[in-house]
Structure 1
Amino acid sequence: MLYSPIQIPPIKNELLKIPAVELAAKIRMSYSVGSLTREGVKSTKDGDTIGHLRAAGGIPLLVSNTPEFCTSWETSNLITGRTLNPYNSRITPGGSSGGEGALIGAGASLFGIGSDIAGSIRVPAMFNGIFGHKPTGGVVSVNGHFPYSTDDAFQKYLVIGPMCRYAKDLPTLVHIMSGSNASKLRLDEQLYTKDIKIFYMEDAGFSFIDVPVENSIKIAMWKALNHFKSNSLQVMPAPIKSLQESMEIGLVKMFEIPDIPIILKHPQNPQMEDSLYMELAKSLFGKSKYSFAGLFFCVLIRTNGFISKSKNVHYNEKLEDLRRHFLSFLGDNGVMFYPTYPITALRHCDSFAKIAGVMYTMIFNILGFPATHVPLGKDSDGIPIGIQVVAAPYQDRLCLCIAAELEAAFGGWVPPF
């Protein structure tokens, strides 16, 4: 398979049944997004992505669980409760597309839809041992998603993408979901793995807030790299010193977006909102109608991610430096191997202590680069591990090609049973 092309089969009602995460609107299905203030709300029309999939023969089965307003890397809310990981019920399936990740990882469906603004496709894909692709920013329409903003930056950072057990499904799904933008990705053109250059970074570099990368993940990455080396591909360290400021860059850019939807706003009157600090106090006694994760996200917005706004200029300049650097070495035939998350799936409620781990995924939302999580087996405790494969904008096909080759070499999804 190493030198075979990646091709898209003819798109003509070839899809079967597709569970879709709740945040992508579907006709007459739940649209509460895990919030008590929206309990009972139903979608009145399909989101754009659902419409594309229906037209291709997809049959949405259900809406899967998410955290409230999709604002957590765990999947728990006050309506439907907590989603468990199929590999170990004591650990989280991740978030925000954790319900989808758990269903697919458990073998309950072939593939589904997730959204990703800071890793919410890729982290659940890793924690549940499946594939998840974050497309190039702006390629897949986010119309119909909730939360939603018309801000241009929001529509680039937030992406909707496929989650599945088998890498061969990714190109078809990305092609369909991209709608009129599909031609920009050139997924129907022949591409050979031997023509791709592979760069790698084992970690983001030292940072006081960093979560160290586990050895099992580094070992898995090196096995993948050695596979390509043994087949005569170019494999080299990424010519970049570190990504240690990824978290700060991501938070600053995210909170520059005006009018980010938050849980405190009244659904019927968005000009009114509940007191954040009153709700935090009530939450300590289990009396708030809002989840703690949703309230914590509001705290991050109010505090600019605990970053002084005087640093915003520095982080904006750093982002553009990173963009230029990445584009110069990735070009149109390079990918980078990088941890999806520095550690394996967390125990329930541990995400707040390990929040800095999101620096590994969020930076590529801000850059607008495509990235695919690729499962690479399990660790010694039977928990899924893997890495993400990153490419320059509109080079999604490179990520998907490498994902297919790694699946062939290492087995891809491993059932939890």
Structure 2
Amino acid sequence: MQTEKISASQAVSAYRWKAFQIQTRFNCVIEFVREAVTMAQDLDNCFRGMKKPPLFGVPFSVKENFHMKGYDCTSGLGKNIGLPMSDDSSLVAHLQFLGAVPIVRTNVPQTLLSFTCSNPIFGETLNPHNATRSAGGSSGGEACLIASGGCPFGIGSDLAGSLRIPAHFSGIASLKPTCERLKVTGTEPGIPGTSRIVIGYGFMAKDVSTLVTLFEAVLQPSYFERVPNTVPLPFHAYQSDSTKQLRIGFCHSDGWFPAVPAVQRAIADVIVALNEVPNILLVPFKIPEPAKALQLALKAVMVDNGKWWLRRMSQEPVDSSLKVIKLPIQLRLASLKAYMANVSDVRETFSDIDEYVTLFTKAWKENDMQALICPPFPFPAVAAKYTSFLSSACFSTVLFNMLNFPAGVVPVTEVTENDEADMLTYSLKFISPYVVQSAMKGSVGLPVGVQVVTLPFQEELCLALRLETKESKDRWLNVLWFIASNTADGKTNAFHYIDRSIISAQKK
């Protein structure tokens, strides 16, 4: 598109048609952006024969909780229908400033508080790899559309894993940055006022090279001027030093919810591959005091004991995925108390979280780690009916919202028949393992990812760790394209990927 071999209008039209086809199969799109074709035509007319903005004509999808002028932000709640927004979200507006074109808005779970993607207004978004499974949540519509080839990239939010879980379930890449690295105005956050469980905003794409291109394009002075409380730290690709050893921690479990065999194998495959990389030293790591961390995270999410959430749900039909919340039972069995007694308890909880962040960071520093490889979620995609029984599995992701550490997810492998057979020996303490075993039946072929974490404001490193794993004796796969240098060639490759996607969409 930069060379005008493909026009913005052609790209937008091709992807709109592709998105329509995908929508009829998986129910991931809630609305097509009415102005998209006109926006693309205006771009073509304005920049014909001229230097173009970095994202010229690139279509993108918008998670429903991002404000767009003239469009509702329902969060799956009937009370929000017919209340169009008066302005665009800062990220939507800035991507348009950079030349990108929003073409569709995508589905979310009711109130955004679920790792499935279903609500009474728009229904359930299905997994593009297996329609009996969920696409994940809360950015499930985004993940489904992108995984199916319906858009080059999309934008989402992450309060407890909402970028990473659907990326893992649907087999794409995403990164939740440090909260202050990319602040966004004009969104529905799910639960406002959760100051110790911070929301992250980021991108989703099929490959990490596209994520690198997007962060580099957005994290520049023009965005810092638009959103002044974003830390003015431009994105610069990580420069590796071959003379220094890179210490990477790893863990096969979050210490609370045991990962299923397929997820543990994905971690093991990455470890085997990294052992062959010079100057990388692998360090076993254990999450400190996971039960305490989960308790604190739950207190911080429901800081008012769920009163705000209950008000939002009043007089609303409750989606089936939220009707039977089993998390309190799990907590009681684990002797955890996540109830806020009074304002003083809120202060004490926030203080305890600060202490835990210090504890975790100390453990990280004592191991002299630069990054951590861990499960993105204890299991791959499950059917929506299981989600309310398995809510505490979100500890794998919400932990890094509480810590405010950058965390990315990329696909590594797929569930095998051996992985499913190994579920017979799977054990779980606080609920019957049969629930997870039942959820994993028929999971062969589902994507499995890994999560990569770094210290705050080290997004460049989180997007600079290249891992290769031998998927078979005659085939190597890049499973984390996280050593993506910020060279001119790197940029070109990212846009060539987008151009190839457009051509493919037009042919189909």
1:320 is aligned to 357
**Is the 2:65–2:188 Cα contact (8 Å) retained in structure 1?**
yes
Q: 1:43 to 1:295 in 2, by over 3 A?
A: farther
In structure 1, C-alpha distance between the alignment counterparts of 2:104 and 2:76, rounded to whole Å: 14
1:215 is aligned to 261
2:187 is aligned to 145
In structure 1, C-alpha distance between the alignment counterparts of 2:194 and 2:261, rounded to whole Å: 39
Unaligned runs of 5+ in 2: 1-51, 225-229, 417-443, 481-508
Q: How does 1:100-249 map to 2 (within 5 A)?
A: 100-147=142-189, 151=193, 153=195, 157-178=198-219, 179-180=223-224, 181=230, 184=233, 186-188=235-237, 190-191=239-240, 196-205=246-255, 207=256, 210=257, 212-232=258-278, 233-238=280-285, 241=288, 243-249=290-296
Aligned amino acid, residue 353 of structure 2: N
Superimposed CA distance per residue, residues 350-382 of structure 1 (whole angstroms, 9 cap, x where no aligned partner): 011111110000010011100000110211200
Matched, 1:384 2:447: yes
2:384 is aligned to 348
Q: 1:259 to 1:245 in 2, by over 3 A?
A: closer
Q: Secondary structure at the match of 1:37?
A: helix
Aligned amino acid, residue 17 of structure 1: P
In structure 2, C-alpha distance between the alignment counterparts of 1:122 and 1:21, rounded to whole Å: 14
Query: How many pairs are equivalent?
Result: 378
Cα deviation for residue 320 of structure 1 reads: 3.3
Superimposed CA distance per residue, residues 28-51 of structure 1 (whole angstroms, 9 cap, x where no aligned partner): 233222111112332221101112
Cα deviation for residue 228 of structure 1 reads: 1.7
Q: 1:59 aligns with which of 84, 92, 101?
A: 101
Cα deviation for residue 324 of structure 1 reads: 3.1
Aligned amino acid, residue 201 of structure 1: C
**Is the 1:196–1:334 Cα contact (8 Å) retained in structure 2?**
yes
Find the structure with the greater CA-based Rg.
2
TM-score using structure 2 length:
0.66
1:400 is aligned to 463
1:269 is aligned to none
Superimposed CA distance per residue, residues 140-189 of structure 1 (whole angstroms, 9 cap, x where no aligned partner): 123111137774816x6111111110110112222344432475264245
Cα deviation for residue 197 of structure 1 reads: 2.1
Superimposed CA distance per residue, residues 77-126 of structure 1 (whole angstroms, 9 cap, x where no aligned partner): 11111100011111101101111111111111111011100001000000
- More moved, 231-240 vs 114-123: 231-240
Superimposed CA distance per residue, residues 390-409 of structure 1 (whole angstroms, 9 cap, x where no aligned partner): 00000011111125767995
Q: Percent identity?
A: 24
1:270 is aligned to none
Cα deviation for residue 130 of structure 1 reads: 0.4
Q: 1:13 to 1:132 in 2, by over 3 A?
A: closer
**Is the 1:185–1:397 Cα contact (8 Å) retained in structure 2?**
no
1:82 is aligned to 124
**Is the 1:185–1:396 Cα contact (8 Å) retained in structure 2?**
no
Q: 1:108 to 1:263 in 2, by over 3 A?
A: farther
- More moved, 246-255 vs 111-120: 246-255
- More moved, 24-33 vs 288-297: 288-297
In structure 1, C-alpha distance between the alignment counterparts of 2:171 and 2:410, rounded to whole Å: 8
1:367 is aligned to 403
Q: Secondary structure at the match of 2:188?
A: coil
Q: Which has the higher contact order (CA 8 A, sep 6+)?
A: 1
1:268 is aligned to none
Superimposed CA distance per residue, residues 281-323 of structure 1 (whole angstroms, 9 cap, x where no aligned partner): xxxxxxx5343556778x98xx999524478747536523434
Q: 1:247 to 1:15 in 2, by over 3 A?
A: farther
Q: Secondary structure at the match of 1:350?
A: helix
Unaligned runs of 5+ in 1: 1-9, 266-272, 280-287
Aligned amino acid, residue 229 of structure 1: N
